[in-house]
Amino acid sequence: MENLSRRNFIKNSVTATLGVSVIPDSFTILKEGRNLGANDRIRIGIIGCGDRGVNALMEGVNNYAREMNIEIVAVCDPWRIAREQANTKVKKWFGRDAMKFVSYNDLLELDNIDAVMIASPDHLHTAQMEAAALAGKHIYVEKPLATEMDNLVRAVNAVKKAGVVVQVGTQIRSLPGIVGCRELFKKGIFGKLSRIEECRNDQQPYWYRYLKDVRPEDVDWKEFLHDRPVRPFCADTYTGWYGYTEFSHGPISALGSHFIDLVHFITGAKFPESCVCLGGTFTWKDEYQFTAPDCIQATWNYPEGFLVSSSNNFGNSSGNVRNFYGDKGMLDAGNWNAPIYSESGAIRPDVVIKGENPVKPADQPDHFLDWLQCIRYGGIPHAPIDAGYQHTVAVLMAAKSFETGRKIIYDPDQQVII
């Protein structure tokens, strides 16, 4: 059943399609900001059925389907093939078809949906998050949260007003080793930080691997474009949107948001004071005319007194690092599943650190289980809306600097990028 748009028709069809009853109380609970009952099933809708939505988000929550009593009941995507692929997994896991939608607005009209998982292109995140909050749904949303600052502020305000549980898809902060890094940092053993850097390189921009043939008759092109200018359908734009800055701000935004969130999580820093970002397309110049840079570096100054640098080079894969440098020692989080720390390079070495040491992991629920537990039992998720706002501000500063060639300032009181 596709392209359902009339609310009454949806309501009357839910029981027959899902084999379940509509439970108005469940919706009321969400609207009033209270927790679900211990025996209530958490019914989830998927918005965005691409690789991330199907192979990461759907798989991730399905791992806890029985433990947390959850069910995926609806899927939404502008591309028919993506909807069908997502529904194939739903049928395998739950023994019945999901309701299939082209527009997220139609999915959000379902009264029996308790939560949504948003894995759409970056330029759609804020609109879909705001609409989901207004509909009283709990939200899991991929990063970065926004491509424009004004849309970010409006969506975050809507979430806070609604009182729904939001988990942002910066799942690295849920890894036991990274939580261990945070606990280690709190002890002050690294001394005074001066610089934190990431170089995340590859032999080809990641957007090339998403390119595929898509027939225009299978896609609701206007639904994908959303508020972007209307133009003729282009399969390269639709499938390779990561490579066009109109829909995604490139690697500092898509990859660097994980790193910036990591910096905030481990150090407790909030917002950078300023940012400078330079780069360009130096290697991959071809018929696709991608506008996202294949080599780029952003540098932020933080009021806590350290410099943060994030760079990507897609013309050579060597030189990958993810380091925190202090005057007493350094933290190497290059492998965020097994970070290490040492006295390497210390100018004031301390007896606390001797040689190279593995970071002691800290046990905690993974990112998906944490979100589900917060929906059912209450609490603040590992990556709450404020954390998503913070990392998004930083990457939007970099995007604006890259676009203008100027140093960018953030005013936290006015919530504006200058």
Tell which of 172, 198, 216 closes a domain.
172
Residue 351: band (very low, low, confident or very high) from pLDDT cuts 50, 70, 90:
confident
Overall domain count for the chain: 2
Q: 294 and 225, same structural domain? A: yes
Q: 219 and 84, same structural domain? A: no
Q: Give residue 22's pLDDT.
A: 26
Separation of alpha carbons 238 and 193, rounded Å: 42
Q: 215 and 166, same structural domain? A: no
At residue 24, does pLDDT exceed 70?
A: no
Q: 196 and 165, same structural domain? A: no
Q: 341 and 281, same structural domain? A: yes
- Answer whether 399's CB lies under 8 Å from 393's CB: no
Average pLDDT of the residues in 16-43: 46
- Answer whether 39's CB lies under 8 Å from 69's CB: yes
Share of the chain above pLDDT 90, in %: 90
* DSSP symbol at 23: -
At residue 416, does pLDDT exceed 70?
A: yes
Q: 271 and 235, same structural domain? A: yes
- List Cβ neighbours of 122 (8 Å cut-off, separation of 6 or more): 144, 146, 147, 241, 247, 248, 249, 253, 254
At residue 27, does pLDDT exceed 90?
A: no
Sign (positive/negative) of CA torsion 301, 302, 304, 307?
negative
Separation of alpha carbons 100 and 114, rounded Å: 16
Q: 192 and 138, same structural domain? A: no
At residue 125, does pLDDT exceed 80?
A: yes
Residue 38: band (very low, low, confident or very high) from pLDDT cuts 50, 70, 90:
low
At residue 39, does pLDDT exceed 70?
A: no
Do the domain assignments include residue 187? yes
Instruction: Determine whether 48 is exposed, middle or buried from the number of CB atoms within 10 Å of its CB (0-12, 13-18, 19+).
Output: buried
At residue 28, does pLDDT exceed 60?
A: no
What domain range includes position 399?
Answer: 175-362+385-417
Least confident piece of the model among 153-157, 301-305, 341-345, 348-352: 348-352
Tell which of 172, 202, 221 closes a domain.
172
Residue 347: band (very low, low, confident or very high) from pLDDT cuts 50, 70, 90:
very high
Do the domain assignments include residue 1? no
Q: 314 and 181, same structural domain? A: yes
At residue 14, does pLDDT exceed 50?
A: no
The more confident residue out of 21 and 206 is 206
Do the domain assignments include residue 276? yes
Q: 199 and 143, same structural domain? A: no
Instruction: Determine whether 386 is exposed, middle or buried from the number of CB atoms within 10 Å of its CB (0-12, 13-18, 19+).
Output: middle
Do the domain assignments include residue 303? yes
Do the domain assignments include residue 56? yes
Share of the chain above pLDDT 70, in %: 91
Q: Give residue 172's pLDDT.
A: 97
Q: 246 and 123, same structural domain? A: no
Q: Give residue 344's pLDDT.
A: 96
Q: Is 211 helix (H, G, I), strand (E, B) or coil?
A: coil
- List Cβ neighbours of 8 (8 Å cut-off, separation of 6 or more): none
Do the domain assignments include residue 92? yes
Q: Which CATH number characterizes residue 141's domain?
A: 3.40.50.720
Each as own residue / partner, the long-range contacts of residues 8-16 (CB below 8 Å, 24 or more positions apart, any chain) are 10/106, 10/109, 10/110, 11/111, 13/99, 14/99, 14/110, 14/111, 14/112
Residue 350: band (very low, low, confident or very high) from pLDDT cuts 50, 70, 90:
confident
At 242-279, the pLDDT tens digits run 999 999 999 999 999 999 999 999 999 999 999 999 99
Q: Give residue 5's pLDDT.
A: 37
Average pLDDT of the residues in 204-223: 98
Tell which of 114, 146, 172 closes a domain.
172
Q: Give residue 36's pLDDT.
A: 64
Separation of alpha carbons 121 and 366, rounded Å: 24
Average pLDDT of the residues in 33-43: 69
At 194-203, the pLDDT tens digits run 999 999 999 9
Do the domain assignments include residue 2? no
Do the domain assignments include residue 79? yes
Average pLDDT of the residues in 156-185: 98
Residue 37: band (very low, low, confident or very high) from pLDDT cuts 50, 70, 90:
low
Q: 208 and 165, same structural domain? A: no
Q: 214 and 79, same structural domain? A: no
